[in-house]
């Protein structure tokens, strides 16, 4: 059994992570930390009543290392990079669900996140934890940078066609919509019920922080410079992401060739399903699956991608990474 700690255990992603790990055959949850809560974990996450008998703690990295072998870090960006070096130094392995180790360039991190990175030597050396692209690099690592939800939705959709050289790496438009849980559990005016219910709005136009992550990972995977125009929207639903992506083919092609390229790429990947129908967020809600399909319309390639932002977009893929780090079946705890 692998002893597991969760750092920053009060949010939505931590709750989903706890639910998954409670059914994982190789995991013992030994600590859940919080800087604000001290009572029972089930007092905050009431759906865990009778399933998890732990109190929140505020353990130091050294104290966590006495209790656990691996830590899932569910802290926000900036807070993660301030604690992860100490977690690693104490001997813990870490799966980081923040954005702090996803980018390879400290200058790019500072530009998009507005902070100087305090652990810059690990940028570019930390494996990006999207198993569908980088599963061979994950086993044996001590630190994995878990991908973001919008980025997973977009990268999983675009990577097969870019790698097969079927679409241009520029002139890509990503029109994505996310449920309100993607904004986290901390109260914000724009996510109050009376603000977001019966409402639909774009945000982060031209400056959303997931843009450089999408471009960098796709550039690395395809070997060509990728540029995207990414626009996210807030939808008045609890969870789920739908991305409609527009790209230009590099040569004359057919709808069948494009769809077959997607099928071939994900043939052996357990959590990506290429479907014939237009996928819906309800099809994947509460699961670790991503559903994809393509269409060829008026000379443009259209890709439709859906996933659950809290699971395949966060906690589920974190457990995929955990499984690969320790040599377990990639699907353990996730089916």
**Is-catalytic flag, 196?**
no
Under a CB-based contact definition with an 8 Å cutoff, are residues 83 and 6 in contact?
no
Q: Per-residue pLDDT averaged across 209-234, rounded?
A: 97
Q: Which of 16, 263, 234, 270 is nearest to 161 (CA)?
A: 263
Under a CB-based contact definition with an 8 Å cutoff, are residues 46 and 38 in contact?
no
Same-fold call for 2-147+313-326 versus 150-308: no
Does the structure show a pLDDT above 80 at 332? yes
113-129 pLDDT, tens digit each: 999 999 999 999 999 99
253-303 pLDDT, tens digit each: 999 999 999 999 999 999 999 999 999 999 999 999 999 999 999 999 999
Does the structure show a pLDDT above 80 at 244? yes
* Percent of residues, the chain, with pLDDT higher than 90: 89
- Please name the fold of domain 150-308: Dihydrodipicolinate Reductase; domain 2 (3.30.360)
- Please name the fold of domain 2-147+313-326: Rossmann fold (3.40.50)
93-103 pLDDT, tens digit each: 999 999 999 99
Under a CB-based contact definition with an 8 Å cutoff, are residues 321 and 142 in contact?
no
Question: How high is the pLDDT of residue 54?
Answer: 96
User: Hey, where are the domains in the chain?
Assistant: 2-147+313-326, 150-308
Question: How high is the pLDDT of residue 180?
Answer: 85
191-217 pLDDT, tens digit each: 778 787 888 889 889 888 999 999 999
Of the candidates 74, 149, 196, 290, the residue annotated as catalytic is 149
């Amino acid at each position: 059994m692998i002893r597991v700690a969760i750092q920053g255990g009060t949010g939505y992603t931590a709750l989903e992570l706890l639910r998954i790990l409670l059914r994982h055959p190789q995991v013992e949850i030994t600590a859940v930390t919080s800087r604000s809560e001290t009572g029972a974990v089930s007092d905050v996450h009431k759906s865990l009543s009778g399933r998890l008998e732990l109190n929140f703690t505020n353990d130091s990295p050294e104290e966590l290392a006495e209790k656990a072998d691996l830590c899932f870090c569910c802290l926000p960006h900036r807070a993660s990079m301030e604690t992860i070096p100490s977690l690693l130094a104490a001997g813990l392995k870490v799966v980081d669900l923040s954005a702090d180790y996803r980018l390879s360039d400290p200058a790019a991190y500072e530009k998009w996140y507005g902070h100087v990175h305090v652990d810059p030597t690990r940028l570019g050396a930390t494996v990006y934890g999207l198993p569908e692209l980088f599963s061979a690099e994950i086993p044996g690592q001590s630190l994995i940078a878990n991908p973001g939800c919008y980025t997973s939705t977009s990268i999983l959709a675009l990577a097969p066609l870019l790698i097969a050289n079927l679409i241009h790496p520029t002139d890509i438009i990503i029109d994505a919509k996310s449920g309100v849980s993607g904004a986290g559990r901390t109260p914000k005016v724009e996510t109050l019920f009376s603000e977001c219910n019966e409402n639909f709005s774009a945000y982060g136009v031209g400056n959303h922080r997931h843009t450089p992550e999408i471009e960098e990972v796709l550039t690395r995977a395809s070997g060509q410079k990728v540029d995207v125009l990414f626009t996210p929207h807030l939808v008045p639903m609890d969870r789920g992401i739908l991305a409609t992506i527009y790209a230009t083919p590099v040569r004359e092609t057919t709808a069948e060739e494009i769809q077959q390229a997607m099928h071939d790429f994900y043939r052996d990947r357990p959590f990506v399903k290429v479907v014939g129908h237009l996928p819906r967020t309800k099809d994947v809600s509460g699961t670790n699956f991503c559903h994809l399909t393509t269409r060829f319309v008026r000379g443009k390639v259209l890709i439709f991608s859906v996933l659950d932002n809290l699971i395949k977009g966060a906690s589920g893929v974190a457990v995929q990474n955990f499984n690969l780090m320790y040599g377990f079946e990639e699907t353990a705890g996730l089916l």
